[in-house]
């Protein structure tokens, strides 16, 4: 077994992030004892998107085949399936919506696809309690060769604001060579950032420059999220030469056809660059598009949530299967994503082992601290056989050691209750009933949640079972948590301390 251990000190990484270390303030969060770093300017530049955006985007399932009917029927379906009230509130239209510019230079929507105009669509989506996302490219053309916004930023931003647009996905095609250094990309994307701000309308700015020129190093002052990899495709771990990079940092050619595992494994190096108001976007979700098994889709959803990626459903909601609705609807997983800690997960270790027919095989342990002092761990088995996987308390709380002289983290002497976050997954029968409108589940059932009625933060504070999952045991001080994890699956657990260091009676497993 070839092993490698990866870990990252939050403090050291954050110091790298800050423009000037003199501005970095450290304080101890009294509820957890965890050192935190406050970096002025590193939270939302425009006050928007303090937790990752959620919604739907048509690209993965429909590509250019977007129109008024699709957007409006999807929005209505999302309300009916309870997805809006789980937090999926942006309907984002992707490429291929315009036919060019008129003689005054304004973009003109395709009148066949949008017979009533886009303003009419945003009005109807707003009436459903949802928000509308627009698409363009920081180039002379979009990726589908429709007019891009380079040189027309102010005019385009003004038009979208007049239509009631709430969100912009801004691509990177046909950029006239204005890329290759962080400065070139920053300056190009900043023009649109300024133009959006000048409209006076709240518009979430979602940069889609594929991780080119290391946006996680500079984009948090001008955008609300930034793609960190080439485009996803619906594969769990198959390598593809068109997605040549295995690391995010310094990837000169991000490409496309990047698998779930390829994108996930680019995240650990940039873990500290995820923050409230700026999220590393791992790209739109493929769940429902047919290329992966149920357990692989569960890994995809879980690890995107765990890393505070935006959660944009990328499939046909009108034909969503009960199993896939159950994945998208797990409120215990969404609650991680929407936690106000707004952080990404640390990959504590990774062993390359037991490859499958793609030549890929590995197991890894990921951890993340929640705002209320809970810790979440993910045991990921991307190897080809079932594994008994082990997380020691020492690995889980490795980052809580005092810098300099080693001191055992106080967490090691506490007992932690363990809650399985997939244990309350909605059954296929329940999900089928939701889809056909015959569900009798209460909004307070263990598998259903309404975040419009009760925010995730309030729900967690109230120990809502739909968010907490099912208690499956506890870990004694300095103990080890072990779980059997099937091939291409993940076990994800919320750990909650029973309290201060005084040893307590260990709960029955």
Catalytic residues: 171, 231
Crossing angle for the helix pair 68-80 and 118-127, to the nearest 10 degrees: 10
Choose, by CB under 6 A, the member of 6, 35, 39, 62 that binds ligand NAG: 62
Residue 222 CB contacts under 8 Å (≥ 6 apart), including other chains:
45, 186, 189, 190, 193, 205
Choose the stretch contacting ligand NAG; rule: CB under 6 A; options: 13-21, 214-222, 235-243, 384-392.
384-392
443 interacts with ligand NAG by CB under 6 A: yes
Query: Is residue 121 at the binding interface for ligand NAG, with CB under 6 A as the rule?
Result: no
Angle at 97 between CA 225 and CA 297, to 5 degrees: 50
The greatest distance separating any two alpha carbons of the chain, rounded to the nearest whole angstrom, comes to 77
Between 51 and 248, name the residue whose CB sits nearer to ligand NAG: 51
Whole-angstrom Cα distance, residue 182 to residue 204?
A: 22
Which letter does DSSP use for residue 269 in this model? G
Decide whether 176 or 480 has the Cβ nearer to ligand NAG.
480
Q: Kindly tell me which residue out of 4, 22, 100, 104 binds ligand NAG, with binding defined by CB under 6 A.
A: 104
Among 2, 4, 22, 30, binds ligand NAG (CB under 6 A): 30
| Separation CA 309–CA 307 (nearest Å) | 5
427 binding ligand NAG? (CB under 6 A) = no
Q: Name the minimum Å distance from CB 82 to ligand NAG.
A: 4
Among 67, 136, 149, 330, binds ligand NAG (CB under 6 A): 67
Q: Pick the piece of the chain touching ligand NAG (CB under 6 A) from 167-175, 197-205, 290-298, 331-339.
A: 197-205
Residue numbers 270-289 binding ligand NAG by CB under 6 A: none
Interaction of residue 460 with ligand NAG, rule CB under 6 A: no
Considering the rule CB under 6 A, would residue 462 count as an interface residue with ligand NAG?
A: yes
**Residues linked to residue 108 through DSSP beta bridges, in sequence order:** 100
SS3 state at 347: strand
If one asks whether residue 161 binds ligand NAG (CB under 6 A), the answer comes out as no
Residue number, 388 or 403, with CB nearest to ligand NAG: 388
3-state SS of 111-132? CCCCCCCHHHHHHHHHHCCCEE
H helix intervals, 216-330: 260-264, 294-306, 322-328
Number of residues assigned to the chain: 509
Decide: is 111 part of the binding site for ligand NAG (CB under 6 A).
Answer: no
Chosen residue from 5, 388, 403, 486 binding ligand NAG by CB under 6 A: 388
Among 50, 433, 441, 476, binds ligand NAG (CB under 6 A): 433
Distance CA 279, CA 207 (A): 10
Query: What one-character-per-residue DSSP string does 169-211 give?
Result: EEE-TT-TT--SSHHHHHHHHHHHHHHHHHT-S--EEEE-STT
Contact positions with ligand NAG (CB under 6 A) in 32-61:
46-47
- State the minimum distance, in angstroms, from the CB of residue 248 to ligand NAG: 27
For the chain, give me the number of helices (H) and strands (E)?
A: 14, 21
Member of 55, 82, 277, 491 binding ligand NAG (CB under 6 A)? 82
Examine residue 450 and tell whether it contacts ligand NAG (CB under 6 A): yes
Q: How far is the CB of 180 from ligand NAG (least distance, A)?
A: 27
Provide the mask over 350-369, with x wherever binding to ligand NAG is found by CB under 6 A and - wherever it is not: -----xxx-----x------
Closer CB to ligand NAG, residue 92 or residue 228? Answer: 92
Cβ closest to ligand NAG, residue 70 vs residue 305: 70
The Cβ-side half-sphere exposure at 434, using a 13 Å CA radius, reads 32
The angle formed by the CA atoms of residues 201, 207 and 208, to the nearest 5 degrees, is: 140
Residue 481 in contact with residue 391, Cβ under 8 Å? yes
**What residues contact 508, with CB distance under 8 A and at least 6 apart?**
none
453 binding ligand NAG? (CB under 6 A): yes
For every residue of 138-155, which 3-state class applies, written as one string?
A: CCCECCCCCECCCCCHHH
Complete DSSP assignment for 400-449:
GSPSSS----GGGGS-EEEEETTTTPPPHHHHHHHHTT-----TTSTT--
One residue of 99, 371, 432, 441 binding ligand NAG per CB under 6 A:
432
**Do residues 36 and 116 touch, judged by C-beta distance below 8 A?**
no
Span from 133-141, 223-231, 301-309, 435-443 in contact with ligand NAG (CB under 6 A): 435-443
Figure out which of the listed residues 44, 76, 110, 197 binds ligand NAG, where binding follows CB under 6 A: 197
Task: Mark the segment that binds ligand NAG (CB under 6 A) among 64-72, 231-239, 304-312, 371-379.
Answer: 64-72
Which of 4, 100, 442, 508 forms a contact with ligand NAG (CB under 6 A)? 442
200 lies in the site for ligand NAG, by CB under 6 A: yes
Question: Whole-number minimum distance, CB 255 to ligand NAG, in Å?
Answer: 26
> How deeply is 35 buried, as exposed, middle or buried, from its count of CB atoms within 10 A (0-12, 13-18, 19+)?
middle
* Minimum separation from the CB atom of position 66 to ligand NAG (A): 7
Residue ranges in contact with ligand NAG by CB under 6 A = 27, 30, 46-47, 62, 65, 67, 69-70, 82, 85, 102-104, 106, 159, 197, 200-202, 355-357, 363, 384, 387-390, 429, 432-433, 436, 438, 442-444, 450, 452-454, 462-463, 482, 496
């Amino acid at each position: 077994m070839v092993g490698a251990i990866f870990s990252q000190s939050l403090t050291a990484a954050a110091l790298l992030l800050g423009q000037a270390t003199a501005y970095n303030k450290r304080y101890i969060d009294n509820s957890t004892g965890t050192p935190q770093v406050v970096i002025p300017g590193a939270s939302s530049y425009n006050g928007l998107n303090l937790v990752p955006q959620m919604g739907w985007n048509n690209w993965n399932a429909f590509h250019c085949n977007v129109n008024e009917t699709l957007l409006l029927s999807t929005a209505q379906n999302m309300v009916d399936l309870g997805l809006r009230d789980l937090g999926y509130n942006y309907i984002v239209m992707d490429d291929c919506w315009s036919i060019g510019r008129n003689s005054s230079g304004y973009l003109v929507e395709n009148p066949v696809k949008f017979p009533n105009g886009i303003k009419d669509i945003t009005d109807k989506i707003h009436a459903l309690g949802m928000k509308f996302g627009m698409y363009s490219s920081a180039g002379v053309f979009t990726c589908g060769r429709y007019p891009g916004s380079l040189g027309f930023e102010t005019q385009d931003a003004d038009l979208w604001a007049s239509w009631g647009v709430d969100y912009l996905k801004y691509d990177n095609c046909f950029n006239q060579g204005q890329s290759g250094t962080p400065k070139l990309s920053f300056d190009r994307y900043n023009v649109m950032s300024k133009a959006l701000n000048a409209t006076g309308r709240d518009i979430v700015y979602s940069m889609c420059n594929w991780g080119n020129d290391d946006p996680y190093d500079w984009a948090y002052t001008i955008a609300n999220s930034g793609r960190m990899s080439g485009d996803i495709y619906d594969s769990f771990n198959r390598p593809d030469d068109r997605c040549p990079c295995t690391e995010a940092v310094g990837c000169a050619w991000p490409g496309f056809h990047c698998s779930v595992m390829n994108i996930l494994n680019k995240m650990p190096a940039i873990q500290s660059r995820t923050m409230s108001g700026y999220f590393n976007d791992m790209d739109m979700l493929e769940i429902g598009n047919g290329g992966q098994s149920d357990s692989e889709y569960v890994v995809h959803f879980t690890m995107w949530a765990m890393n505070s990626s935006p959660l944009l459903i990328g499939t046909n909601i009108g034909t969503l299967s009960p199993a896939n609705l159950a994945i998208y609807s797990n409120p215990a997983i969404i609650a991680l994503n929407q936690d106000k800690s707004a952080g990404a997960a640390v990959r504590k270790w990774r062993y390359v082992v037991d490859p499958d027919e793609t030549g890929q095989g590995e197991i890894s342990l990921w951890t993340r601290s929640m705002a209320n002092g809970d810790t979440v761990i993910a045991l990921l088995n991307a190897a080809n056989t079932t594994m008994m996987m082990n997380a020691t308390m020492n690995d889980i709380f490795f980052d809580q050691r005092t810098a300099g002289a080693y001191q055992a983290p106080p967490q090691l002497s506490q007992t932690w209750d363990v809650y399985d976050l997939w244990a309350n997954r909605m059954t296929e029968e329940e999900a089928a009933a939701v889809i056909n409108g015959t569900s009798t589940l209460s909004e307070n059932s263990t598998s259903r949640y309404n975040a419009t009625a009760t925010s995730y933060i309030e729900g967690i504070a109230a120990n809502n079972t739909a968010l907490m999952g099912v208690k499956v045991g506890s870990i004694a001080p300095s103990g080890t948590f072990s779980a059997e994890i099937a091939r291409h699956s993940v076990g994800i657990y919320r750990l909650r301390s029973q309290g201060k260091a005084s040893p307590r009676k260990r709960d029955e497993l």
